A and B are shown apart, each in its own frame.
Chain A
Amino acid sequence: MASLIYNRALENWARGSIDFDTDAFKVMLTTSTYTENKDTHDYRDDITNEVTGTGYTAGGNTATVTVTLDTVNDRVDISLGGTTWPSSTITARKAVYYKSRGGAASADELIAVNDFGSDVVSSAGTFTLNASTLRIQN
């Protein structure tokens, strides 16, 4: 499977329930067993097979999101920030970004999933996730 933006994320953005400038976002890791579905997965409770391991807390880490308007190239870039899990022992295949409301998983809107292409494994080391970019090209 490939990295993707969940369809509902675009709808929520259009309807105003997601504000990339002011909302809080988090990123969680999953194993390769999670199969993303851009049509039917809309909230965090749809995410299965979140990783478990030393140095990783369920729900993942806070992610910094920034929005950049590019009028020269007619596009908006949304940067989904990277993060690290120090002193961790983790095997992960995907990173799922979501809006964190601080409560139930069923209330957290999904944004996008980043498929690494293969398992990434840390062993009593630092697991570093690089930032991703969502581009809305006009």
Chain B
Amino acid sequence: MIEKTTVSIDLADIPLALLIDRQQTLGSKIDKLRAERAHIKSHIEKRLSAGESEHASTDADQGDALAPGAFIEAAAT
């Protein structure tokens, strides 16, 4: 079991400089996450456009088989 503890801090008790620093740190993290998200997204788009499917094969899929149809022509001329 993982215990979750929530600590409430009254922002009014935190010095302004610390709040500004905290805000900037969060902003920096958000920017990094956005950049990482864009990077992953570009990889996804590249792989999807290359024909890869997002659905992973299942065991049942691996046992499937596809027999091709035939085209047979009989000329009447």
Contact = CB atoms under 8 A, between A and B. Distances in A.
Interface string B58-76: 0011111111111111111
A138 B72 contact: no
Contacts, number: 85
Contact of A5 (B64, B66, B74): B74
Contacts of A115: 70
Interface size classification for chain A: 20 to 34
B72 A92 contact: no
Interface of B: 60-77
Interface of A: 3-5, 10, 80, 82, 89-90, 92, 95, 112, 114-117, 120-138
Contacts of A137: 73-77
Contact of B64 (A95, A126, A129): A126
Nearest to B76: A138
Nearest to A115: B70
